[in-house]
Structure 1
Amino acid sequence: MNLRARFLGLQSLLTRHASLWRPAPFHVARPEWCAQWPGLAAALEALDDEFVERFADDVDACTTWLASQLPELDRLVDACRVPELPGRTVPACNAHFDDGIPGRKRLQIEAFTRHMPAATTPVLEWCAGKGHLGRRVALADRMQVISLEIDPALCADAVRLAARTGTDQQVVCANALDETSRAHVRDHSVLALHACGELHRCLVRSADRDGAQAYRIAPCCYHLGTDDVYLPLSRDARLALDASTLRLAVTETVTAPRHDRKRLARDQAWKLGFVALRNAIEGEAPRPFRPVPASWRADGFEVFCRQLAAREDVALPAQITWPDWEALGWQRRAQVRRFELVRHAFRRALELWLVLDIALGLDERGFDVQVGHFCARTLTPRNLLVLAERREPARAEKT
């Protein structure tokens, strides 16, 4: 894959179709694109609930259907294809390794390890948690590992687990964003499995002076640490992104259990019911919607809305027919779900653009870079992995 050509192609595609993916249907009664593509809007509103649920879970099927309504989206499918990275065989773990690791996380760690090159220099595990990935790489490659983590409780667990499995693993309790943490990067291969937002971007920003031998970065939660403005990592990046649009890249999740889906559906319907009520009182205007405490959902729709109204300084009238506003919330949710399918079709394109920005940022700072996926998206939608190796000095001078 020509990384820069793919990056520029995605950037052009996202720029041309920004009206389809930038507006969040939750915050607007009807996205402006509905006037430009009325046939698409009508087709979406005509979808039955079964298709909506299927398309919400299957991004490929959704994009194929959308392309039948909007043929330009065929290019989106091609632009988002990413190869699987080469795999390798790694030694099996000892009997104690799996203890305490959630099953899905365990499979992600195994896939990450199999798709990264064997470590030939000491390893630094960035934002390590309990050090599971570092411990796995230490066992696979017989290499010394430093695991850096900010949470003292997780550090203590990492020390205990390393001792139990007999791995050569040093645990450092430190803030990855602190400048002093960069001292641990020099001469190491740096691993970052789902380090969020600025926690992975800070590695790229200082890669030309930190002295790492290699990076293996599977990024996550791109919106965290942005201060609402995304600062690109590579010279050709031109998309203007805020935290809201960055969050779009990570809204795809592995299918949730039925009870979680029902709870999430009710939560969104209640929020939309409140928004409709507030708009009727104060007039329509885009407003941010801060997180709602889980305890506010315990006593029904009316109590939920009254608590929100108190927080948002909304003066409620004396008489409110609460069932009507709750029903309107459910109607709005059905419409929002359908219009969101269009926006969600661009999630992978936006995520791949962000990952390629990381890759090109490392390339411009003296590394040879590959990008590919290391596991199926059913295991984790955050399945893109950046592999970067420091260039030989002679080659760096030519580039």
Structure 2
Amino acid sequence: MHSQQFLNIDRLLSQTVFFWQFSAFHSSDYPWRTTHESLSHWLDGLTLVEVQELKRVPEKLTQALSVFIPEVHDLYELSQLEQLQAAKLVMPKGLDSGINGRKWQQITNLSALGIQYSQPQDQWLEWCGGKGYLGRVLNVASGKPVTTLEWQDALCHSGQEYADKHQLDMTFIQGDALATSASELIRANQHAIALHACGDLHVSLIQKGIDKSIDAITLSPCCFHLTQSSVYEGLSALSKQTQIRLSKDDLRLPLQETVTAGKRTQHHREQEMQYRLGFNALQQFVTGNDNYVPVPSIKKSLLSDGFEAFCQWASEHKNLQLPDDIDFFYWLNKGKEAFVVMEKCDLVQQVFKRPLEVWLCLDRALLLEEAGYEARIGEFCLKEDTPRNIVIQAKKA
């Protein structure tokens, strides 16, 4: 049972909610500026390079912050999960066609764990399977048929075409994983598997699987904020008793790690955030309104045109008339200053992202245990392959 681990993390997250339940992007200063002066002073002394270095080394960051927030140390320890191991799969040449290296590593690792954990008597059920990349590996490696449920008809067609061409025993079903009709695909003698199924989609699999007494489930959850509810609704009995209340913004927190991002991607992120924050300060000055105005996603190529071009583009999208005498250099510097504050706020939040993600995954494991399943939770690949590397596995006890 995972109840004690859940309760311990729950208690520590509740005690430290002040340090993580806020928006770093919208913070003009540290929320704890006046209440935790020593922490604020330490953060003020950090350069942006030092902040980024600490983010890259969780152990070092945990050690540094535990001086100011003692609970951080125990949260870090409680969030360390076992690296689950399985015999490496040897796949025929060409099966990874169209799949990048990191994704292929995730697919083969999760497949190997699923096969080792519980071979289905009947078939695999690939939940929200896209083109069936995971199903291809499962069918080839285990010899068992695969049913793939996918919402997008074009992906179903492409996946079925590939499977037929390569004589893979796969059947694609176009359907909505959230619909009641999706339950008809679930049977007792199956092993359902899902790689990075988002929000309600993976919760739906767990709940429908329990209802149909499915033999086994292997899933890697993702995007906890993609849910129809405006606030988090606990799944297990223990989570329904918690004092923690999570908004969709809170549920986004675990997804804000960028450990797999290269230098070029990180540079683009830094530049874009500075531009957005600078434009926001500018539009607040022009309109006299302190509210944040969201700006649409942009093509990264637009960033190379400079801050002034970005502001002109953003103002057009927001129907905002900018004065002719704007000192764009001044407002860009405002954006850079705000970015430093944001990064330092995020640095503190960083040590709570994984514990919150583990808390959410434990809630799912506990629901399965309450339904009579044996459940385990661990890591199915390295964080370098994907930050979302947690897997939940369950089978009938």
Of residues 17-26 and 283-292 in structure 1, the stretch that sits farther from structure 2 once superposed is 283-292
User: What is the letter of the counterpart of residue 297 of structure 2?
Assistant: V
* Aligned-residue offset at 1:330: 1.0
Counterpart of 1:153 in structure 2 is 154
User: What is the letter of the counterpart of residue 120 of structure 2?
Assistant: T
Name the SS of the counterpart of 1:43 in structure 2: helix
User: What is the letter of the counterpart of residue 356 of structure 1?
Assistant: L
Q: Is the Cα contact below 8 Å between 1:41 and 1:339 reproduced in 2?
A: no
* Partners of 2:184 and 2:35 in 1: CA distance: 53
* Partners of 1:184 and 1:97 in 2: CA distance: 26
Q: Is the Cα contact below 8 Å between 1:128 and 1:149 reproduced in 2?
A: yes
* Aligned-residue offset at 1:276: 1.9
* Aligned-residue offset at 1:21: 0.4
- Change beyond 3 A, Cα 1:242–1:213: same
Of residues 136-145 and 54-63 in structure 1, the stretch that sits farther from structure 2 once superposed is 54-63
User: What is the letter of the counterpart of residue 216 of structure 1?
Assistant: T
Q: Is the Cα contact below 8 Å between 1:253 and 1:380 reproduced in 2?
A: no
* Partners of 1:205 and 1:102 in 2: CA distance: 32
* Partners of 2:88 and 2:270 in 1: CA distance: 42
Counterpart of 2:19 in structure 1 is 20
- Change beyond 3 A, Cα 1:88–1:72: closer
User: What is the letter of the counterpart of residue 330 of structure 2?
Assistant: D
Counterpart of 2:112 in structure 1 is 114
Name the SS of the counterpart of 2:177 in structure 1: coil
Counterpart of 1:133 in structure 2 is 134
Of residues 70-79 and 202-211 in structure 1, the stretch that sits farther from structure 2 once superposed is 202-211
Q: Is the Cα contact below 8 Å between 1:309 and 1:315 reproduced in 2?
A: yes
* Aligned-residue offset at 1:196: 0.9
The match for 1:364 among 367, 370, 377 is 370
Give CA-to-partner distance per residue, 1:111-156, whole Å, 9 cap, x none: 1122231423211000111111111112222211111112222222
* Partners of 2:192 and 2:361 in 1: CA distance: 17
User: What is the letter of the counterpart of residue 120 of structure 1?
Assistant: P
* Aligned-residue offset at 1:92: 1.8
- Change beyond 3 A, Cα 1:226–1:30: farther
- Change beyond 3 A, Cα 1:299–1:91: closer
- Do structure 1's residue 267 and structure 2's residue 272 form an aligned pair? yes
Counterpart of 1:248 in structure 2 is 253
- Change beyond 3 A, Cα 1:75–1:52: same
Counterpart of 1:220 in structure 2 is 222
Give CA-to-partner distance per residue, 1:335-378, whole Å, 9 cap, x none: 21122100111000110011011111222233221111111111
Counterpart of 1:162 in structure 2 is 163
Q: Is the Cα contact below 8 Å between 1:234 and 1:358 reproduced in 2?
A: yes
* Partners of 1:99 and 1:133 in 2: CA distance: 12
Q: Is the Cα contact below 8 Å between 1:254 and 1:379 reproduced in 2?
A: no
The match for 2:339 among 333, 337, 361 is 333
Write out aligned runs for 1:1-399 (5 A): 2-85=1-84, 87-89=85-87, 91-116=89-114, 117-121=117-121, 122-187=123-188, 188-237=190-239, 238=242, 239-281=244-286, 285=290, 287=292, 289-294=294-299, 297=303, 299-309=305-315, 311-312=317-318, 316-317=322-323, 319-391=325-397
Q: Is the Cα contact below 8 Å between 2:275 and 2:332 reproduced in 1?
A: yes
Of residues 236-245 and 61-70 in structure 1, the stretch that sits farther from structure 2 once superposed is 61-70
* Aligned-residue offset at 1:70: 3.0
* Partners of 1:31 and 1:283 in 2: CA distance: 23
Give CA-to-partner distance per residue, 1:176-203, whole Å, 9 cap, x none: 1222111111222110110111110112
* Aligned-residue offset at 1:329: 0.7
* Aligned-residue offset at 1:270: 0.9
TM-score (norm 1): 0.90
* Partners of 2:56 and 2:165 in 1: CA distance: 40
Give CA-to-partner distance per residue, 1:193-240, whole Å, 9 cap, x none: 101111101122333323321111110111112443222211221321
User: What is the letter of the counterpart of residue 362 of structure 2?
Assistant: L
Q: Is the Cα contact below 8 Å between 1:113 and 1:136 reproduced in 2?
A: yes
Give CA-to-partner distance per residue, 1:7-39, whole Å, 9 cap, x none: 111111111111100112210211322222111
* Aligned-residue offset at 1:284: 7.0
Name the SS of the counterpart of 2:197 in structure 1: strand
Q: Is the Cα contact below 8 Å between 1:233 and 1:357 reproduced in 2?
A: yes
* Partners of 2:4 and 2:290 in 1: CA distance: 40
- Change beyond 3 A, Cα 1:285–1:364: farther
* Aligned-residue offset at 1:43: 1.0
* Partners of 2:316 and 2:39 in 1: CA distance: 39
Name the SS of the counterpart of 1:346 in structure 2: helix
Name the SS of the counterpart of 2:181 in structure 1: helix
* Partners of 1:298 and 1:50 in 2: CA distance: 22
- Change beyond 3 A, Cα 1:15–1:291: farther
Aligned residues: 389
Of residues 8-17 and 282-291 in structure 1, the stretch that sits farther from structure 2 once superposed is 282-291
**Identical pairs, percent:** 30
Of residues 134-143 and 348-357 in structure 1, the stretch that sits farther from structure 2 once superposed is 134-143
User: What is the letter of the counterpart of residue 359 of structure 2?
Assistant: W
* Partners of 1:354 and 1:271 in 2: CA distance: 31
TM-score (norm 2): 0.91
- Change beyond 3 A, Cα 1:49–1:298: closer
* Aligned-residue offset at 1:263: 1.6
Q: Is the Cα contact below 8 Å between 2:150 and 2:173 reproduced in 1?
A: yes
User: What is the letter of the counterpart of residue 217 of structure 1?
Assistant: L
* Aligned-residue offset at 1:313: 6.0
- Change beyond 3 A, Cα 1:88–1:319: closer
* Partners of 1:22 and 1:380 in 2: CA distance: 24
RMSD over equivalenced CA pairs, Å: 2.2
* Aligned-residue offset at 1:315: 6.0
User: What is the letter of the counterpart of residue 40 of structure 1?
Assistant: L
Name the SS of the counterpart of 1:94 in structure 2: coil
* Partners of 1:9 and 1:212 in 2: CA distance: 30
* Partners of 1:176 and 1:185 in 2: CA distance: 11
